[in-house]
Amino acid sequence: MAEPLAIETRSLTRSFGSRLAVDRLELKVLRGTICGFLGPNGAGKTTTIRLLLGLLKATAGSIFIEGEAFTPRRRPLLRGIGAVVEGPSLYPHLTGEENLEVTRRLRGVSASHIADVLALVDLRADAHLLVRAYSTGMRQRLALAVALLARPRLLLLDEPANGLDPSGIRDLRLLLKRMSREQGITVFVSSHALAEVEQVADDVGIIDRGCLLYQGPLR
């Protein structure tokens, strides 16, 4: 019996003019795992994540989320996905809790979810502070809380450790492990730092110049 996949791509391709940013990508990400998506800057990691979220249209190929074909007409599939792409998108003049309230109303989820995600990312004590007073690590954790508010099955993170100090990176690492182990969330995390990914990932995919060079167990 085939193992259940959270993400599958088949010959996924995206070009910008004559440049191939993603070249016939064949990804397979198992449900409930942490998959590190590795490659140097400009390798195609962010483009791939934007394709998976429907923020870019594929030039060719197909995407399957939780076994279902994803097309622009099937945007409801995105309700099961949380994402942080190209840095946190937050309102600095609002408190952490108010930022979550804005998203909660937009997503139509229960108010009780706010307390749950604040506890999960360890921000309950700072939820009343304006985001402009948050450290980089606190902002990254709040962005994760926003992404988790609708209780997604799949979390897509684009270089989440960027700008974090060693303490912030350690906290992020522990949080990702906890979300995967305790919540059963599939985490797909892009990075150019192999040393960091190897401490959290179950599987890795390595991409360079848009081509998938390897995907499989970390070992």
Q: Return the domain boundaries, the chain.
A: 5-214
Q: What is the pLDDT of residue 2?
A: 62
Tell me how far apart the alpha carbons of residues 154 and 108 are, in angstroms, rounded to a whole number. Answer: 19
CA atoms within 13 A on the CB side of 134: 29
Tell me how far apart the alpha carbons of residues 91 and 132 are, in angstroms, rounded to a whole number. Answer: 8
Tell me how far apart the alpha carbons of residues 12 and 149 are, in angstroms, rounded to a whole number. Answer: 29
Which structure tokens are listed for 207? 């991409």
Report CA Rg, the chain.
17
pTM above 0.85, yes or no: yes
Per run of 10 residues, the mean pLDDT along the chain (length 219 residues) is 85 94 96 94 94 94 93 77 85 95 90 91 93 91 90 91 81 86 91 85 95 92
Task: State which H helix or E strand residue 195 sits in.
Answer: helix 194-197
Q: What is the pLDDT of residue 104?
A: 92
5-214: in CATH 3.40.630.30: no
- Other C-beta atoms within 10 Å of 194: how many? 13
Q: What is the pLDDT of residue 181?
A: 87
